[in-house]
Amino acid sequence: MIENEKESIFKGMMKEWLDPPYIPVIAFGGAGAHFLRSFERLLSIYRNGDDPDNFSNIFTVYVNTKQESDMDNFPFVRTVLITNSILGVHSDTNGYVEVGEKLIEDSFDEIFETFTGKISINLKKADAVILVAAFGGGMGTGGIKEALKILSIKYPSLPVFPVIVMPFSFETRSIDLKSEINEVLEFNRKPTVIKNSEFIHLDENKKMKFSDLLEEINYNVAKKIMDIVLQVKNEKEIVFKELYGGMFEEEFQQAISGLLLKQIKPI
| pLDDT for res 149 | 93
Residues 6+ apart with CB under 8 A from 252: 6, 9, 10
| pLDDT for res 129 | 96
Domains of the chain (ranges, CATH numbers) = 22-238 (3.40.50.1440)
| pLDDT for res 89 | 46
Res. 130 pLDDT band, cuts 50 70 90:
very high
Q: What is the 3-state secondary structure (H, E, C) of 123-185?
A: CCCCCCEEEEEECCCHHHHHHHHHHHHHHHHHCCCCCEEEEEEECCCCCCCCCCHHHHHHHHH
pLDDT tens-digit readout, 212-223: 888 999 999 999
Who wins on pLDDT, 213 or 231? 231
If you average pLDDT over residues 10-21, what whole number do you get?
69
| pLDDT for res 164 | 94
Q: Report the predicted TM-score, pTM, of the whole model to 2 decimal places.
A: 0.80
